[in-house]
């Protein structure tokens, strides 16, 4: 199994690039923190990598924020649907077998 990893690249112009690969497992912590006075924060914590997802302005939520969250939810739903399909299908990609 390939573990979660992160690679930082520094360019000659000073711009950095962070490439993170989250390999979600049973030990990955996924939480959504809800607050009364500010927008929610979605957190994915896997060993040495922590990803927090929230809106740009902690003081308010906009229609654009809702559109972005919907795109995230749609992508997560497609991810789930494909995993379910693969577990249900016979063959090497099924649960408990090496991919």
pLDDT digit string, tens, across residues 8-46: 888 888 778 888 889 999 999 999 999 999 999 999 999
pTM of the model: 0.78
Indicate the pLDDT class of residue 6, thresholds 50, 70 and 90.
Answer: confident
pLDDT digit string, tens, across residues 81-93: 999 999 999 876 5
Tokens coding 8: 């930082």
Task: Tell me what pLDDT residue 57 has.
Answer: 96
Q: Is 12 exposed, middle or buried (0-12, 13-18, 19+ CB in 10 A)?
A: exposed
Dist. CA 31–CA 52, nearest whole Å: 10
Give the end-to-end CA distance of the chain in Å, rounded to a whole number: 10
Instruction: Give the ranges where the chain is alpha helix by DSSP (H).
Output: 63-88
Provide the CA 29 distance to its chain's centre, in angstroms.
11
Q: Is 9 exposed, middle or buried (0-12, 13-18, 19+ CB in 10 A)?
A: exposed
Indicate the pLDDT class of residue 99, thresholds 50, 70 and 90.
Answer: very low
Tokens 């003081």: give the residue. 59
């Amino acid at each position: 199994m390939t573990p979660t990893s992160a690679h930082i690249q520094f360019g000659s112009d000073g711009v950095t690039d962070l490439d993170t690969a989250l390999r979600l497992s049973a030990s990955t912590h996924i939480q959504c923190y809800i607050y009364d006075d500010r927008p929610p924060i979605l957190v994915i914590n896997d060993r040495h990598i922590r990803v927090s997802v929230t809106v740009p302005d902690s003081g308010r939520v906009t229609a654009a924020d809702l559109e972005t969250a919907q795109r995230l939810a749609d992508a997560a739903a497609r991810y789930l649907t494909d995993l379910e399909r693969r577990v249900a299908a016979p063959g090497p990609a099924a649960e408990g077998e090496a991919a």
